Structure 1
């Protein structure tokens, strides 16, 4: 089994930029539902690997790192969007919020 991370830093940076610029509110929902931080006020995607998304999460102005694991280990970039969409949709369901997209 290949245990190397399939996501080079430039790919992680592109994904993080997209998530932080276009889906900042979705990041918050994901960490509230699956990151164990129900009081999160902001969540900036700070990184990722094949196992999880990483966020810098703020609660009452104090920032803390949070990892939100994927359902399974991802092996290519094409899987990232589907997994993030799943996390968003399941976050909405868990929090009782209708999905916006």
Structure 2
């Protein structure tokens, strides 16, 4: 994990995403993880290169690593990137 993504920063982002944006986390595993059959997902960790998620598929936990299209600079870059990814996934699904 880069210095910009300490365990505390990763934990804070994951907690926020899981509590306030769980549907977005599900969209990430479906659109970028290729698990269209996932019924739910949880963000486990985030770093400057990507995010680690756990998806539920047919009642089983499936780990998913999604790499970003660029190296994130800081938590604000993470915020903007995660928003852009949800928008991109929603456009693809139409």
Q: TM-score, normalised by structure 2?
A: 0.93
1:36 is displaced (CA, Å) by 1.5
Please state if 1:36 is matched with 2:39.
Answer: no
Q: Where in structure 2 are there 5+ consecutive unaligned residues?
A: none
Partner of 2:80: 82
Larger Rg: 1
Moved over 4 A (4+): none
CA distance, structure 1, for counterparts of residue 8 and residue 75 of structure 2? 12
CA distance, structure 1, for counterparts of residue 93 and residue 19 of structure 2? 23
Partner of 1:99: none
Q: Where in structure 1 are there 5+ consecutive unaligned residues?
A: 97-101
Q: TM-score, normalised by structure 1?
A: 0.87
1:65 is aligned, of 63, 66, 74, to 63
